[in-house]
Amino acid sequence: MKIRKIIERIFFFLLVVWAASTITFFIPRISSRNPVRERFGQLARSGGFAPADLEIIIESFNQKFGLDLPLWEQYTNYVGSLARLDLGVSMFQFPKTVGELINESLPWTIGLLVTTTILSFIIGNLMGAIAAWPKAPRWLRNLAMPFVLFMGVPPVLLAIFLLFFIAFRLKFLPLGGAYSIGTVPNLSLEFALDVLKHQILPATAMIFGSVGGWVLSMRGMGITIQGEDYVLFAEHKGLSGFTIFKDYYLRNALLPQVTAFALALGNVVSSGIIIEQLFGLPGIGTLLHNAIKFNDFVVIYGVVLFITIAIAALMVFVELLYPLLDPRIQD
């Protein structure tokens, strides 16, 4: 029963991956634009080579990447290379592969965006749950207020504000970048602290931007749950306030939040792209942004496909996890 469900989910996941990859294959090919021509046209105009050579270059490029083959053959080649986890080679940063580029950017995105999304989820939901809990001390319940107020401020504005005052005027923290210019990435404590120092401002902007939302939705959930019969009966059993809070109240109020959390994780790249740009962090968002800027279509489609697959995998994970959190959900 259980095994069957897992297999079913994985099959569904593969279906999503196949559909996504097929769409990313066909979009550039059915569009009237020719990214290869545009890219080399750009280079030609900037004076790299004589316009006469353009056709020859495009021709040889097409040949090299199999773009002159019949469509179905291109497709099978494409699917074959995908199966080998080969997303192709960047046009702009040749000969780097898309896989390598993603590999280089991913740690920065996970380090900042994924971490802050998780932190925001934990902080926001805990605060929201406490804010709705009548037995919590007043000061603790009000702790969430500043976050709720900050909700109205777009994270970008907050980021600019932080940059201006804390980094530019007060010079407490670096203005941007992943680490200090001149240092070479290594595994020393010194380097780790340097990286951490560079992450503080963007992390603050990210967290302040999303904690408020969690607080509000969790507080709403909490108000509903605390009136449920099972919470009242738990009190009649003589359980301590902490046990009721943890096992009866929070546990149930969190259920819908888990789905929202998966969605938030899925949106990490799109919601963090501006922050990465603003702070000059070389994450997936920056990679995508640069690829769009330089019309590097192999990288664009590679990154989009990668994000799609990551989200699909996340959803499978959540779906398999959910029955463990809520036994009422089966099959």
Partner 1 sequence: MEPALKINNLQVSYYTDAGRARALDGVNLTLNPGEKLGLVGESGSGKSTMALAMMRMIKPPGRIEGGEVIIGDVNLTTLSEEDMLKARLSRIAYIPQGAMNSLNPVTRIGAQMVDAIKAHDTGMSKKEIIEKSMESLESVDLKREVFKMYPHELSGGMKQRVCIAIGILLEPQVIVADEPTSALDVITQRQVMETIDKVQDKLGAAIILIGHDMGLMAQFVDRVAVMYTGRLMEVSSVKDMFTRPKHPYAVDLIHSLPNLENKGVFKGIPGVAPALLRLPSGCSFHPRCSQAIEICQKDTPPYQEIEDNRFAACHLFQEKA
In the complex, least distance from residue 260 CB atom to partner 1, rounded to whole angstroms: 17
Instruction: Choose among 70, 66, 71, 68: nearest CA to 86.
Output: 66
Q: How far is CA 217 from the centre of its chain?
A: 21
d(CA 249, CA 221): 10
With contacts defined by CB under 8 A, how many residues of the chain interact with partner 1?
A: 23
Strand partners, 97: 89
In the complex, least distance from residue 233 CB atom to partner 1, rounded to whole angstroms: 4
d(CA 109, CA 137): 37
In the complex, least distance from residue 325 CB atom to partner 1, rounded to whole angstroms: 7
- Out of 1, 47, 327, 331, the residue judged to bind partner 1 by CB under 8 A: 327
> Smaller CB distance to partner 1: residue 73 or 247?
247
In the complex, least distance from residue 21 CB atom to partner 1, rounded to whole angstroms: 38
> Smaller CB distance to partner 1: residue 183 or 240?
240
In the complex, least distance from residue 134 CB atom to partner 1, rounded to whole angstroms: 8
Using CB under 8 A as the binding rule, the residues of this chain from 78 to 137 that contact partner 1 are 134
**Cβ within 8 Å of residue 253, ≥6 positions away:** 129, 218, 221, 222, 224, 225
Strand partners, 89: 97
> Smaller CB distance to partner 1: residue 38 or 235?
235
- Say if residues 297 and 35 touch (Cβ distance below 8 Å): yes
> Smaller CB distance to partner 1: residue 100 or 326?
326
In the complex, least distance from residue 68 CB atom to partner 1, rounded to whole angstroms: 59
Dihedrals phi, psi of 44, to nearest 5 degrees: -65, -45
Using CB under 8 A as the binding rule, the residues of this chain from 220 to 279 that contact partner 1 are 228-230, 232-240, 243, 247-248, 251-252, 255
> Smaller CB distance to partner 1: residue 205 or 234?
234
Angstrom distances, CA of residue 91 to CA of 32, 37, 161:
20, 12, 36
In the complex, least distance from residue 231 CB atom to partner 1, rounded to whole angstroms: 8
- The contacts found for 3-8 with CB under 8 angstroms, 24 or more apart, are 5/320, 5/331, 6/320
- For residue 329, what are its two tokens? 């959900």
> Smaller CB distance to partner 1: residue 180 or 240?
240
> Smaller CB distance to partner 1: residue 95 or 327?
327
Which residues in this chain contact partner 1 in the complex, by CB under 8 A? 134, 228-230, 232-240, 243, 247-248, 251-252, 255, 325-328
